[in-house]
């Protein structure tokens, strides 16, 4: 069993909260649909090309299987009429969107790195906490806005490492195109509510992450109209965001294979993610707007039920591959889930955090009861660390003899979902 050094995973900051206590919290960043379907080309990718470009075969496992479409019918939200994005090949490029906004009302956008001829696309949702009461909003204030200067800093550092590294032979995403979705809305990319006053916290907030994605898709879908495989991924808040946007992205890229790789955003059951905390998110962010209207079990009478969205996805997309990466005692997600303890007493004071043992039990339940199908996989690291795919730890992490890049490659390129780690 390999314990991952937390120093490799991400930066830790001490943040002083107005109530006087100090939280040790990982920021989770190294910067710190439509009535028409996207087209799908008929040709298959040649083995050993990474699915997208002239990349040599990798004996260590980055050789893809030919992707097969998994969605035969779809009903996207709207038609995508935006202009395709024009950007330099294989270079990160900032694309501003006047109709996309951050929590403070400022405009934002996305980053793209387009690989010529690529038929595979990774859409990455950034992480960075969440805003739902005074303490959490102060932490999330670091990500209150995001523009071109912040993006350029990210692109020159994190944007060249982890799954974004274009040179490593063991990168399962070598030769792919990328879309980078920044995080400045404080709502795990799932909000649809303006002019919100947070209890005990900031006022007139824009929790519009889900709306922003709708704006981005107007240009992203036409830009990548010929992709055959889309991976929806993200870290921490972006892991939750990737999952919550998975259904609409599967619909938007109709006919393509769509895979989910959720890094450190585990959707635990009501036994571990308190319904009262889920209810706060639903009310504050209008989270229900991000959940499919026909997912009746996603909306429990007590505010719970978000975990049932996973069951909804596996029923709606029975051939799609969904994977979760997590530490078995993630100290950051434990902190956030801890706000729901004792009927959400943490929302009115200091969160004691969920114990590592309890968090592990929640993961075990999630794996055993919700990840039982063959095309659902998990990679559980014995650690308290948080996030693994956007830094050097992506290549240094090994559990039970299986390297993390190899596990991701099996899921993404070989269509083989497996469970690694957290053995009894």
The string of pLDDT tens digits covering residues 193-212 is: 999 999 999 999 999 999 99
pLDDT of residue 388: 98
Name the residue among 104, 99, 69 with its Cα closest to residue 227.
69
- Cα distances (angstroms) measured from residue 375 to each of 46, 292, 321, 416: 23, 22, 5, 7
Phi and psi at residue 149, in whole multiples of 5°? -65, -45
Residues 296/300/306/309 CA torsion (nearest 10 deg): -20
Spans of the chain, pLDDT less than 50: 1-72
pLDDT of residue 200: 92
pLDDT of residue 350: 72
pLDDT digits (tens, 9 = 90+) for 226-260: 999 999 999 999 999 999 999 999 999 998 999 99
pLDDT of residue 73: 67
For residue 255, the tally of other CB atoms under 10 A from its CB is 17
pLDDT of residue 5: 33
270 and 308 Cβ atoms separated by less than 8 Å: no
Q: What is the reported pTM? A: 0.85
């Amino acid at each position: 069993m390999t314990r991952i050094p937390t120093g490799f995973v991400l930066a830790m900051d001490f943040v002083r909260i107005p109530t006087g206590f100090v939280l040790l919290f990982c920021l989770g960043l190294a910067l710190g649909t439509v009535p028409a379907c996207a087209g799908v080309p008929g040709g298959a990718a040649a083995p050993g090309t990474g699915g997208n470009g002239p990349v040599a075969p990798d004996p260590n496992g980055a050789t893809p299987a030919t992707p097969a479409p998994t969605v035969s019918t779809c009903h996207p939200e709207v038609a995508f009429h935006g202009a395709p994005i024009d950007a330099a090949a294989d270079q990160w490029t900032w694309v501003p969107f006047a109709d996309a906004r951050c929590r403070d009302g400022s405009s934002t956008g996305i980053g793209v790195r387009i690989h010529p001829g690529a038929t595979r696309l990774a859409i990455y949702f950034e992480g960075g906490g969440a805003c739902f009461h005074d303490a959490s909003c102060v932490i999330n204030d670091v990500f209150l806005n995001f523009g071109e200067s912040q993006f350029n800093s990210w692109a020159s550092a994190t944007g060249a490492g982890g799954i974004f590294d274009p040179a490593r032979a063991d990168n399962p995403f070598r030769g792919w195109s990328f879309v980078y979705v920044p995080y400045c809305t404080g709502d795990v990319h799932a909000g649809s509510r303006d002019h919100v006053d947070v209890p005990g916290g900031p006022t007139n907030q824009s929790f519009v992450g889900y709306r922003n994605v709708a704006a981005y898709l107007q240009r992203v879908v036409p830009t990548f109209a010929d992709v055959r495989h889309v991976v929806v991924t993200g870290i921490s808040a972006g892991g939750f965001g990737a999952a919550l946007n998975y259904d609409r992205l599967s619909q938007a890229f109709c006919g393509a294979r769509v895979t989910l790789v959720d890094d450190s955003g585990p959707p635990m059951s009501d036994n571990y993610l308190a319904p009262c905390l889920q209810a706060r998110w639903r009310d504050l962010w209008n989270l229900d707007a991000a959940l499919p209207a026909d997912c009746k079990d996603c909306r429990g009478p007590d505010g719970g039920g978000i975990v049932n969205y996973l069951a909804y996805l596996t029923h709606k997309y029975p051939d799609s591959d969904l994977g979760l990466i997590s530490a078995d005692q993630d100290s950051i997600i434990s902190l956030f889930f801890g706000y729901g303890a004792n009927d959400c007493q943490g929302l009115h004071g200091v969160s004691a955090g969920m114990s590592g043992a309890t968090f592990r039990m929640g993961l075990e339940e999630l794996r055993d009861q919700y990840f039982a199908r063959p095309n659902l996989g998990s990679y559980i690291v014995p650690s308290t660390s948080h996030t693994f795919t956007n830094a050097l730890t992506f290549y240094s992490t090994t559990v039970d003899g299986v390297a993390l890049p190899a596990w991701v490659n099996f899921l993404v390129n070989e269509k083989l979902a497996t469970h690694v780690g957290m053995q009894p």
